[in-house]
Structures are given as C-alpha cells and as structure tokens.
Amino acid sequence: MSNNNNGDSSTHKKNILEQLFSEHAAGLVRFLARKTRSQEDAEDIAQGAFLRIQKLENLDKLDNPRAYLYQTASNLAIDQLRRAKLHRGYIQSETPTATETEELGGNHVDQATPERLLAAKEELQRIEATIEVLPFKARQAFLLHRTKGLAYSDIAKEMGVSVSSVEKYILLALKQCHQALK
C-alpha cells in the first residue's frame, strides 16, 4: 500500500515540477538575466533553483511553489554576485597600481639584477609547485584562463560547469598562489 502512495507522491511531485518549469522557466531566466546581466549565468542559476526544488521532500505542501522558486533563484543569484564581487576585489588587490610599479623600479631592464632574477625564479617555482597540487578542476580552470587566455564562460563550456564554478576554481588557485608567495 505504501508503495502506491509513494509512487503517487513522486508522480505528483514530478507533475508540480513539470508545471513549474513549463510555466515559469523562461520568465525566471529573464528575471535572473536582469539581476546578473548575463544570460548564461541566469540559465545556470535557474537550473540550480529547479534542482534545489526537485530535492525538496514536501514540494506538494508549498503554499506558493512559484514564489519559492523565484526566492530560491534570487538567493542563488545574490550568492553568485557576492562571489564575483569578492573575486574582483581580490584580483584588484593583487594587481599593482602604476604608482606601486614605479616604486618597485618600473619596467627598467637595468633593474634585472642577478638577485632579482633568482628571486623571480624561486617565486615561479613556488607557483608551479602550488599549481601542481591544486585540485584538478581548479588547476584546469586556472591554466585555461592564464595560459590560453580563455574567458570564464568559455572555460565553463569546455569544463562542463557553470561560470560561478569557474570563478570559484580560479579564486581558489589565486589564493593558493598568493599563500605560496608569502
């Protein structure tokens, strides 16, 4: 008897999900695209929201599944925007300003003393060693970005992950490299 109820429940849940998707997917993506200013990110976030709702035990008990879907998607978008802001802040803090470059001697060739060359070589070795021990996906994303110059969206397509995942992987790699240089 409980098998029939369980089957009925999962069928009902599936119907609710299908109805939510067919009625609200396009509108949800438009809503998210306005928030994120990226169609790809909006699609990824919408998919994530639907996956979260699919995992709910009592989907049929929600008073307003559409509102729950939009709130879930909105929260995911806010999380992604926060991560992107953190990422940009970190990159900016690690990029020397023109004044700092001048204080360090600028780009003068005559500043390349044997000591500086040795220090640079040691730093490069530490970075290479750090990259070697990164988790596979973080290493892959970082190298695609830094060696091939691929944009995050291109890396996401190549790796089969979301742009926000690529951001997380590259941020992890940058943090590890920064730690290695301290």
CA angle 131, 95, 98 (to 5 degrees): 145
How many CA atoms within 13 Å lie on the side-chain side of 13? 16
Q: What is the pLDDT of residue 98?
A: 56
- The dihedral over CA atoms of 156, 157, 159, 165, expressed in degrees to the nearest 10, equals 20
The pLDDT score that the predictor gives to residue 92 is 75
Is residue 111 within 8 A of residue 105, CB to CB? The reply is yes
Contact 16, 59 (CB under 8 A): yes
Q: What is the pLDDT of residue 108?
A: 47
Number of H helices, E strands in the chain: 8, 0
- Residue 125 has a CB neighbour count (10 Å cut-off) of 11
For residue 71, what pLDDT is reported? 92
Residue that is written with structure tokens 């200013």 in the block: 37
Please report the pLDDT score of residue 91 as a whole number: 75
The domain spans of the chain are 2-85, 106-181
> CATH assignment of 106-181, given 3.40.50.880, 3.30.70.270, 3.40.50.300, 1.10.10.10?
1.10.10.10
* pLDDT by residue, tens only, the chain of 182 residues: 444 455 566 777 778 788 888 888 899 999 999 988 888 888 888 988 888 888 887 777 888 888 988 999 999 888 888 887 877 777 777 766 555 555 555 554 456 788 888 888 888 888 888 889 999 999 999 889 888 888 888 899 999 998 889 989 989 988 888 888 87
Identify the pLDDT of residue 140.
92
Residue 105: predicted pLDDT? 53
Token reading at 121: 């070589």
Determine the pLDDT at residue 4: 47
Supply the pLDDT for residue 104.
Answer: 54
Cα 165 from Cα 155, distance rounded (Å): 10
Helices 163-181, 65-94: axis angle to 10 degrees equals 30
CA distance 36 to 20: 22
CA distance 48 to 153: 17
- Contacts of residue 75, Cβ cutoff 8 Å, sequence gap at least 6: none
pLDDT at residue 29, rounded to an integer: 92
What span, in angstroms and rounded, lies between the C-alpha atoms of 30 and 25? 9
Altogether, the residues listed in the chain come to a count of 182
pTM, two decimal places: 0.49
